[in-house]
Amino acid sequence: MAIQESSAKDANELGFVARLLIQATIPHSKPKSNEWSRKNGNLTVHMMAPSSVGLPYGCYARLLLVWLTTQAIRNKSRMDKGVITQQEAYRIELGHSQRGFMAELGLIGTGGKEGSIGRLREQMNRLFKTTISAIITEYSEEGGYVTQNDAGARVTDFCHIWWSTNQPEQNSLWGAWVELSPKFFQLITDKPVPLDMRVLRLIKRSPIALDIYCWATYRVSYLKKATVIPWGSLMEQIGTGYPNTRQGSRDFRKRFLDGLQKVQFAWPELNASPSERGLLLKPCSPQVPRLMKRKVEYEI
């Protein structure tokens, strides 16, 4: 009801996700390798992490990426206005306690082997040490040329975590912060997609629901007519880890529909329904309205 009654901007719940991470999603579950690639049209996204650390995956990694992108967008806005320098814009403050930071992500801190505190710390460690590259490949049939534009960067250049592991609610003297690499900062702040953080908190336990919400928010923002997106295309973009077999396709479709139900509970205006060929998506109001000027901008 709160989501329906006020916009994300009015409720101070406006967030952002990098368009790059909608076009090619990160793993849903723990990958077996320290390398990961996703291909979507002429875009290929490659991720690599130290083998002793591993790649980020699951819900927590997605929430972290949205939070980092949102903070980076805010810093970029302040930098463009001359309030802070470019170097200061790369620095993201994480706060003085882990429980305080988890509250920012909409998480409740719990201890123990399977508790949220340890799991979040693991995903932070994985994400901050990961290198992400985006490759755009273009073909020229007339001249027979193949052009590749490749941009890659480690997520952080520097990471300073000063939190008590025994008393996660205790405030530390200096706090924690990370410094995003300039290239990664550029990747996530280039044409970001606005989100409603309240919706993310409702579906935060499901990686595929988070992916569907981010994808659908972006897709309906430019949708002009009813469109069927084939299941195969959705599986290539969102179905991370499912084998390219009949059983894999069935498993993905079942999981996708479960995630879609969660998203539509939080966003009932989303006009999407399954068909035999794929997902039938019809025009509807986007979750976060865009501000139209001489060029497309998002309200910050």
| Distance separating alpha carbons of residues 175 and 157, to the nearest angstrom | 18
For residues 35 and 183, state if they share a domain. Answer: yes
Give pLDDT tens digits for 244-282.
Answer: 899 999 999 999 999 999 999 999 999 999 999 999 999
Does the residue 195 lie in any domain? Answer: no
Give pLDDT tens digits for 213-228.
Answer: 999 999 999 999 999 9
Q: Are 198 and 13 in contact (CB under 8 A)?
A: yes
Instruction: Provide the 8-state DSSP code for 275.
Output: -
- What kind and span of H or E run contains 176? strand 176-180
Give pLDDT tens digits for 51-68.
Answer: 999 999 999 999 999 999
- What kind and span of H or E run contains 131? strand 131-140
The β-bridge partners of 45 are 38, 134
For residues 210 and 177, state if they share a domain. Answer: no
- Whether 76 has a pLDDT exceeding 90, the answer reads yes
Range of the domain at 125: 20-190
Does the residue 7 lie in any domain? Answer: no
Domain end, chosen from 134, 158, 190, is at 190
Closest CA to 229 of 239, 241, 244: 239
Tell me, what CATH number does 214's domain have?
A: 3.30.1370
Number of domains in the chain: 2
Does the residue 37 lie in any domain? Answer: yes
Mean pLDDT of the chain: 89
